Chains A and B, each alone.
Chain A
Amino acid sequence: MKEKKPPFTFAVKFVYMIWGLAMRVIYPPKIEYRDESTKRLLKEEKCIIIANHTEHTDGYYIPQVLPSKKMYTYVTRKWYDKKKLNWLFRRLRYIPINLAEMDTEWLDKGKKVLDGGNSVMIFPEGKLSKNGRLDAFHPGFLMLARQTDVPIVPIVLLGKYKKFRRKRIIVGSPIETDLHEKGRPSVILRRQADLCHGIMAEMLGMPEVEMNTAEDMSAVH
Chain B
Amino acid sequence: MTENEIKIADRIKELLSESLGIDADVLTYEIPLFGDEIGLDSIDSMEIIACIDDEYGVSMNGVGKEPFYNVESLAKYVAANIG
Contact = CB atoms under 8 A, between A and B. Distances in A.
Interface of A: 102-105, 107-108, 139-140, 143, 147, 182-186, 189-190, 214, 220-221
Contacts of B21: 182-184
B60 interface: yes
A104 B45 contact: yes
A102 B44 contact: no
A185 B62 contact: no
A221 B62 contact: no
Given A184-B21, A185-B20, A139 B50 contact: no
Interface string B42-66: 1111110110000000001110110
Nearest to B50: A147
Contacts of A183: 21
Given A102-B64, A104-B62, A108-B61, A184 B46 contact: no
B41 interface: yes
A197 to B, nearest CB: 16
Given A182-B21, A185-B47, A102 B61 contact: no
Contact of A185 (B44, B64, B68): B44
Interface residues of B, number: 19
B24 interface: no
Given A183-B21, A185-B20, A220 B61 contact: no
A52 to B, nearest CB: 21
A186 B61 contact: no
B40 interface: yes
Nearest 7 CB-CB pairs, A to B?
Answer: A220-B42, A186-B43, A186-B41, A185-B47, A183-B21, A108-B61, A186-B44
Say what secondary structure dominates the interface of chain A: helix
A104 B41 contact: no
Given A104-B61, A186-B41, 5 more contacts: A103-B62, A140-B43, A140-B46, A143-B46, A214-B41
Contacts of A189: 43
B43 A221 contact: yes
A104 B60 contact: yes
Contacts of A186: 40-44
B43 A185 contact: yes
A76 to B, nearest CB: 15
Contacts of A107: 46, 61
B41 A220 contact: yes
Contact of B42 (A105, A147, A184, A221): A221
Contacts of A103: 62
Contacts of B46: 104, 107, 140, 143, 147, 185
22 contacts: A102-B42, A102-B64, A102-B68, A103-B62, A104-B45, A104-B61, A104-B62, A105-B61, A143-B43, A147-B50, A182-B21, A183-B21, A184-B20, A185-B43, A185-B44, A186-B41, A186-B42, A186-B44, A189-B43, A190-B43, A220-B41, A221-B43
